[in-house]
Structure 1
Amino acid sequence: MRHAPLSLSLSMILAAGLGTLVGCQPATLPVAGAAPAATAPVASSARFDAVAESLLMRALERSPEWSIYSGRYDNAATLTIPDAARRADDLAFAKAALAELAAFDPQQLPAPQRIDHMLLTNQFESSIWYQQQFRDWAWDPSNYNVAGTVALLLNTPYADEDARLRTVMQRIEQVPQYYAAARANIATPTDEHVELAIVQSRGALSVFDDELRERIKASGLDAAEQALFNARIDATRAAIESWVGWLEGEQKRLAASGDARSFRIGEELYEQKFAYDIQSHYSAAELYRRAVEEKNALHERMDKITVQLWPKYFPDTAMPDDRLERIGQLIDKLSERHVGRDEFFGEIQRQIPLLADFVREHDLLDQDESRPLVVRETPEYMRGGGAGASVSAPGPFNPTADTYYNVSPLDAYTDEQAESFLREYNYWVLQVLNIHEGIPGHYTQLLHANKSPSLVKSLLGNGAMIEGWAVYAERMMLEEGYGAQAPEMWLMYGKWNLRVVSNAILDYAVHVQGMTEAQAMDLLQREAFQEKTEAVNKWRRVRLSQVQLTSYFTGYAEIMDLREQRKVELGEAFDLKTFHNRFLSYGNAPVSAIAELMREQYPAE
C-alpha cells in the first residue's frame, strides 16, 4: 500500500509543479576531475544558495498547485490552465533554469549544495523529458482533476474560514477552461487511465456538494459573494460532469475502435523513467534481477519458519513436500486471525499510539508528540487508484498542518471481497502496514523532512528514499523487538516483504517483458502468497502506474546497505538512534546522496 499520488503522491504533486516534474536522474554526484559544468564556474556557495532559492520560488510562483501541496498559499486563488501555451512556457522556464545552474561547478560547492545542484538540475531535465518524450499529458486523463487542491484549501486552517472560501471562489472561476484544455490535450488515451479518470472525476463532485454550500451559507461572505460562489459551484459541477461525459464517450469509442494506447510503456521509456524517478545506481534491469534473487532468499527464510511452526498449527497433517505449498498453507491458517470489516478503521486508530510508545520506549528516533497522526477515511476524489492506504502530509511551508492517514472504507466490497482483504491485512500484517504508513514510517519520515534546512531536498523529494524508509522501518522495528520476535510475526513480515520484492518484479515484467494477467496473478498469489483481492488491486495498479512500484525495494535495499556499511565504518561508535536521526535530517534526498553527506560530515575516526 501507498502513500500517494500526496494524498502523498509525489508524482501528482510534482506534476502540478513544473509541467510534469516527477523525478530526477540517477543520484550520481560529479566525481573529482570531471569536466566542469560551465566554462566559467562560480565557486560561491552563498551565490548558489541564492540562485537555488530563487529558482524554487519562481517555480512555486508559476505553479499555484505545487505551492498549495507544499503548504504555501499566496497564489492559491489562481488555477493553472494546462494548455499548449502553458507547456511551451514550462519548457522555456526549465531550459532557462538549467542555464542558470550551469554557471556553477558542483565540485566547488560543499557536499550539501552539490546534492541540491544535482536535484535541481535533474528536476528540470526530467521536466523536459516528461513533456517531450513521455507525454503522459496527452494519454493519461487522470492527470486532470481540480478537486485535490480545493479540498486542501477547504480543510487546511492556514487562514480563517472566510478567507479560504474566497480563495476557493476565485480558484474555481476558470474550471470550465481547465477541463476544455484537458479535453484538447488527450489523444489516444489508454483504456485504464480513462476508467480511472472517470472514477476520480465523479469523486471530485463530492468536494463541490451541499456541504460546501452550507459552509458558504454559514460564512461571513455577503449575499453577493454567496450568490457568485454558488454560481461558480454550479459551473464547476457542470464542467466536471461534461468532462466525465466526454470520457465515457471516449471509453465507448476506444472499445469500438480498438485503437487505445497500450498501458505498457516498453523498455526504452521504462529505463529512462526509472533513471529519472528512482535515482539509483541500479538500472531497471539490474534492480529486477536483484529482486528475483531476493524473492528466492525470502522463500528460503520463510520455509525455515514454516518447518518450525508446522507441528504447532497442523499437528495431525503431513507437511507438503513443495516449499511454496507448505508456506502458503501456513500463511492461510494464520490469516484466519483478523479484525471484522467494521473494526478495520478503528483498529488502525488504536494501533498508532502504541507504535509511538514503542519507538519512544526503545529510543529509536526523535518524534514530535505535538503533531499527532490523524486517521481518516480516504476522500472520494482520491479513491480508485488501487492503493487502500496512504499518507497525506503537509508541505514544508506549512509544517504544523495535520498529517492524514487515509484508509479506504470496505463499503463497496462484497462479503467475499472483504474477507479476502481482511485476510491479507490480518493480525500481523496490519501491524506492519501501520508501521509502514504511520510510525516510524511515512508519517515520521515526512515530519523530519519538513524540518530539513534544505528546501530543495524537502520540495524535490526522492520517492525511492521515502518509500524505502517506510519499508526499512518495518524490518527495523521487528529487529528491535516489536512483535516479541514471534516466528508468526516474522513469517508474516516475510510475506509482506515479498510484496515489496514482487512489486519490483511485477512492474518491470509487465511494462518491459509483457507479463500477462495470468502470469501476474501466479506471481502475486502463488509466489508472494497474496489474497485474490490484493492481487487484483495490484494488477490494476501496475496498469495505471509505471516504475513507482519499484521504489519500495530500491530504497529499502539501499538504506539497509548504508546502515550495515556505517556499522562497519564506525564500529563501537555506531548508534542506531543517531543513524536514524541523521539519515532523516537530510530531507527527501536520494539514499546515495545521503550516504555521501553522512560520510563527509560524520567520518569514521
Structure 2
Amino acid sequence: MKPFFLALACTLCLAPALQAQATDNATARFRAIYTKEWGWRQAQFDGTDDEDNHDAALADHLPRVDADTQAMRERYWADVLQQLDAISPRQLQGEDPVNYAVYRNQIQTLLTDQHFRTWEMPFNSDTAFWTNLGFTARRTLRTADDYRHYIDQLKDIPRYFDEETANMRAGLARGFSVPRVTLAGRDQSIADVAHARGDDNLFYTPFRKMPATIPADAQARLRQQGRDAIRTSVIPAYAKLLDFMRNTYMKQTRTTLAAEAMPDGKAFYQSQIREFTTLDMTPDAIHELGLKEVARIRKEMDATIRESGFKGNFPEFLHDLRTDPKFYPKTPDELLKDAAWIAKRVDGKIGNIIGRLPRQRFAIEPVPADLAPFYTGGRGGPGIYLVNTYDLPSRPLYSLTALTLHESAPGHALQMPLAMEHEGLPDFRRYTYISAYGEGWALYSERLGVEMDMYDTPYDRFGYLSYQMWRACRLVVDTGIHHKGWTREQAQAFMRDNTALSEHEIDTEVDRYIAWPAQALSYYLGELAIVDARAKAEKALGERFDLRAFHDTVLSLGSVPLPVLQQEVGKFIANGGRSPYATK
C-alpha cells in the first residue's frame, strides 16, 4: 500500500476512537462545570428560605445580598457561560444534551437577572424577603443544632435587612422599583413582627413546641436564647425596615406601572418574558394570542351558562356567581374540608392517568394569617397545599376543584416532589423550578379534571373555564400593562368582564401582575405547549398512544424549558410511545 493511502487508512481507523475520546472529554468537562457551579450556588444562597423544600438543612446564617457579592456572582456566571459555550452539545450523549440545554438556560437566566440588577427590587406584591423569613419560622426544627442555627439566623437579620435596604435605595435612585400603587398595606406584615413582643412574635414559633428528644434544660436555654435574639436583633431590624418602607420607599417609589417605563425597560421586559416563558415571543404576539384565546374560551363559557339553565346574559351570570351566598363557604373549616374532599377524590382517579406517583404526601392547611390578605387563593408544593381562608366571600366554591387540581395533585404537590425523587436526574433539574413548565403543568392539571370527571355541575365546569379564562386574560393584561400602557383600572375591568373572580381576587391579582412583570405569562403558554405536544403524540401514535406513558414522560423531565419539553415528546413519539419507566 502506498504511504498516502496507508496514512489515510490509519486515520480512518482512529476516527471512532478519537470521536469517543472527544465525547468522553466533553462529558467530563460538562459534568465538572455543573457539579462545581451547583455546589457554589447552594453555598451562595444557603440560608435563603425555600418554602417548597423544608427538608433542606437549616443554615446558621442568611445569604449575602450586597452589591459587591452581586457583582461577584455576575462575574462567576459569565465565566460559567463561557465555559459552557466552549463545549459542543453534539459531543454529548445520553441525557447530557438535555441536561446541557436545561443547565445553559438556567445560567443564562441567572446571568441576565444580574445584568439587569433585579436584586435592587427584592420583593413584589406577592413575595418579599421579610415574609420569606416567616416560612423559616414555621419550619419544623428537629435537633438542638437546628435551633442553634435558627437563632444564628435571627441574629443575622439586621445585617441582611441592611443589605436589602441598600439595594432598594440603589433601585430607587435609578427608577427601578415596585410601582407605588401596589404597595398599599404591604408594610403591615413588617409591622406585625416589629410590634410583637416576646413569645407572641412570629419568630418564636419554633420554640412553642420543641422535640422531646432535646433535654428540658437544653430546651430552656434555647428558648431564652431565642427570646434574646428576637428582642435584640429581630424586632429592631423589622422596626428599622418598617421606618424605611413607610418614610422613604413608599414615598419615593415610581408612579408608573409598566416594566418598559423603567431603565432599559423594553429589554428588561423582554428578558423577563424569556425567563418566565422560556420562549422568544414578543409582547405584541403574546397579547394577540391572549385575545384569541379569551374569545375562544368565552364561547365555551356561554355554552356552560346555557347548560346551567340560567336565563340571563353573561354579566348577569357573573353577578349571580359573585353575590349568591350558596357559592361561598361559611367558615374556614368548610373551605378546608371541601378542598380535602376534592383532593381525596383525585387520589382514587389519578392512577388512571399517571403511572409513576411520588412517595411524598401533602397536607392541607390555611395560608398563614400574616400573609393571607395579599396572598393568592391557594399555593401548593412538596408536602403542602395552602388554602386561603381570609375574606371567605372572595373564595368561591365553584372554583375550588380547579384550584385544588392546580395546587395539590396532579399539580404542584405532585409534580415537584416527583422531580425531587427522580434520582436519575442531576440536582439542578431536581431542585430548580422553571415557571413555564411548572405552572404550565399545574394549569394543564386543571384540564385533566375534565377527563377525571371532577367537575360535577355546570357551575364547577364554569369555575374551571373561568380559571382557564383567568390565565388567558393574563396574556392580555400583563402585556397590556407592561407594553401597551394600560392603567390599573383597565386591567381590573378586563378581568372583571371576562372572569368569575371576586373583586378581592381581581385587585390582588392585578397588583401581582403590575409588580411581577411577565411571571403571569408562564401559565397559559406552558399549558398550551403541553396540550400541543400531547396532540402531536396522539396524532402520530394513534392507537398506540398511552396517556399514562405520555404524562410519565412529561413528569420525568424535572423542570425544563418549553422547547426541551417539545423535543423530548418528539423522542417519546419516535420511541413508539413507551413510558420512560418501561422495562426494556
TM-score (norm: length of structure 1): 0.79
Deviation at 1:88, TM superposition (A): 1.9
Q: Letter of the aligned partner of 2:507 in structure 1?
A: V
Task: Report the Cα distance in structure 2 between the residues aligned to 1:588 and 1:96, rounded to whole angstroms.
Answer: 24
Match of 2:243 among 225, 230, 245: 245
**Aligned equivalent of 1:92:** 75
**Aligned equivalent of 2:444:** 472
Task: Report the Cα distance in structure 2 between the residues aligned to 1:383 and 1:195, rounded to whole angstroms.
Answer: 15
**Aligned equivalent of 2:259:** 265
**Aligned equivalent of 1:551:** 522
* Other structure's SS at 1:375 match: strand
1:16-31 equivalence runs, <5 A: none
Deviation at 1:294, TM superposition (A): 0.8
Q: Deviations over 1:130-153 (max 9, x none)?
A: 223253525758876356357437
CA contact 1:154–1:164 (8 Å) conserved in 2:
no
Task: Report the Cα distance in structure 2 between the residues aligned to 1:594 and 1:433, rounded to whole angstroms.
Answer: 24
Q: Deviations over 1:356-415 (max 9, x none)?
A: 11223x3544334x532111122356445441211243xxxxxxxxx11112232xx4xx
**Aligned equivalent of 2:234:** 236
Task: Report the Cα distance in structure 2 between the residues aligned to 1:196 and 1:53, rounded to whole angstroms.
Answer: 43
CA contact 1:306–1:326 (8 Å) conserved in 2:
no
Deviation at 1:162, TM superposition (A): 1.3
Distance 1:56 1:261, change over 3 A: farther
- In the alignment, does 2:100 pair up with 1:117? yes
Task: Report the Cα distance in structure 2 between the residues aligned to 1:94 and 1:539, rounded to whole angstroms.
Answer: 33
**Aligned equivalent of 1:290:** 289
CA contact 2:553–2:572 (8 Å) conserved in 1:
no
Match of 1:58 among 20, 32, 40: 40
Task: Report the Cα distance in structure 1 between the residues aligned to 2:558 and 2:535, rounded to whole angstroms.
Answer: 21
Task: Report the Cα distance in structure 2 between the residues aligned to 1:193 and 1:581, rounded to whole angstroms.
Answer: 40
CA contact 1:44–1:109 (8 Å) conserved in 2:
yes
Match of 1:539 among 510, 518, 524: 510
Distance 1:327 1:297, change over 3 A: farther
Match of 1:500 among 471, 475, 487: 471
CA contact 2:33–2:80 (8 Å) conserved in 1:
no
Distance 1:446 1:499, change over 3 A: same
Q: Letter of the aligned partner of 2:298 in structure 1?
A: H
Task: Report the Cα distance in structure 1 between the residues aligned to 2:288 and 2:149, rounded to whole angstroms.
Answer: 50
CA contact 2:376–2:505 (8 Å) conserved in 1:
no
Deviation at 1:466, TM superposition (A): 0.7
1:364-375 equivalence runs, <5 A: 364-368=354-358, 370-375=359-364
Percent identity, aligned pairs only, is 16
Task: Report the Cα distance in structure 2 between the residues aligned to 1:468 and 1:141, rounded to whole angstroms.
Answer: 22
Deviation at 1:233, TM superposition (A): 1.9
CA contact 2:322–2:502 (8 Å) conserved in 1:
no
Per mean C-alpha deviation after superposition, the further-off stretch among 59-68 and 206-215 is 206-215
**Aligned equivalent of 2:384:** 404
Task: Report the Cα distance in structure 2 between the residues aligned to 1:306 and 1:175, rounded to whole angstroms.
Answer: 53
Q: Deviations over 1:268-315 (max 9, x none)?
A: 3222210122102533332221111011011122223333443xx44x
CA contact 1:358–1:482 (8 Å) conserved in 2:
no
- In the alignment, does 2:177 pair up with 1:173? no
* Other structure's SS at 2:385 match: strand
Deviation at 1:577, TM superposition (A): 0.9
CA contact 2:257–2:481 (8 Å) conserved in 1:
no
Q: Identify which of structures 1 and 2 has the higher relative contact order when contacts are C-alpha pairs closer than 8 Å and 6+ apart.
A: 1
CA contact 1:154–1:165 (8 Å) conserved in 2:
no
Task: Report the Cα distance in structure 2 between the residues aligned to 1:151 and 1:386, rounded to whole angstroms.
Answer: 14
Task: Report the Cα distance in structure 2 between the residues aligned to 1:252 and 1:460, rounded to whole angstroms.
Answer: 32
Match of 1:339 among 322, 329, 337: 329
* Other structure's SS at 2:380 match: strand
Distance 1:329 1:225, change over 3 A: closer
Task: Report the Cα distance in structure 2 between the residues aligned to 1:210 and 1:43, rounded to whole angstroms.
Answer: 52
CA contact 1:331–1:492 (8 Å) conserved in 2:
no
Match of 2:376 among 377, 381, 387: 387
Deviation at 1:585, TM superposition (A): 0.6
Task: Report the Cα distance in structure 1 between the residues aligned to 2:501 and 2:112, rounded to whole angstroms.
Answer: 36
Deviation at 1:106, TM superposition (A): 1.3
Deviation at 1:550, TM superposition (A): 1.0
Q: Letter of the aligned partner of 1:57 in structure 2?
A: G
CA contact 1:303–1:327 (8 Å) conserved in 2:
no
**Aligned equivalent of 2:298:** 299
* Other structure's SS at 2:327 match: coil
Distance 1:229 1:532, change over 3 A: closer
Task: Report the Cα distance in structure 1 between the residues aligned to 2:547 and 2:124, rounded to whole angstroms.
Answer: 45
Distance 1:261 1:340, change over 3 A: same
Deviation at 1:431, TM superposition (A): 1.2
Task: Report the Cα distance in structure 2 between the residues aligned to 1:551 and 1:233, rounded to whole angstroms.
Answer: 39
Task: Report the Cα distance in structure 2 between the residues aligned to 1:383 and 1:236, rounded to whole angstroms.
Answer: 22
Task: Report the Cα distance in structure 1 between the residues aligned to 2:108 and 2:71, rounded to whole angstroms.
Answer: 15
* Other structure's SS at 2:501 match: coil
CA contact 2:273–2:280 (8 Å) conserved in 1:
no
Task: Report the Cα distance in structure 2 between the residues aligned to 1:186 and 1:51, rounded to whole angstroms.
Answer: 33
Match of 1:145 among 120, 129, 135: 129
Deviation at 1:63, TM superposition (A): 1.7
Deviation at 1:528, TM superposition (A): 2.3
Q: Deviations over 1:252-272 (max 9, x none)?
A: 643xxxx63534211432222
Q: Letter of the aligned partner of 1:471 in structure 2?
A: L
* Other structure's SS at 1:568 match: helix
* Other structure's SS at 1:376 match: strand
Aligned residues: 529
Distance 1:329 1:66, change over 3 A: closer
Distance 1:263 1:604, change over 3 A: same
Task: Report the Cα distance in structure 1 between the residues aligned to 2:461 and 2:134, rounded to whole angstroms.
Answer: 43
**Aligned equivalent of 2:581:** none
Task: Report the Cα distance in structure 1 between the residues aligned to 2:323 and 2:377, rounded to whole angstroms.
Answer: 24
- In the alignment, does 2:507 pair up with 1:516? no
- In the alignment, does 2:543 pair up with 1:572? yes
Distance 1:549 1:177, change over 3 A: same
* Other structure's SS at 1:523 match: helix
- In the alignment, does 2:154 pair up with 1:164? no
CA contact 2:362–2:384 (8 Å) conserved in 1:
yes
- In the alignment, does 2:413 pair up with 1:443? yes
Task: Report the Cα distance in structure 2 between the residues aligned to 1:112 and 1:242, rounded to whole angstroms.
Answer: 50
1:99-110 equivalence runs, <5 A: 99-110=82-93
**Aligned equivalent of 1:17:** none
**Aligned equivalent of 2:560:** 589
Deviation at 1:58, TM superposition (A): 1.6
Deviation at 1:184, TM superposition (A): 1.8
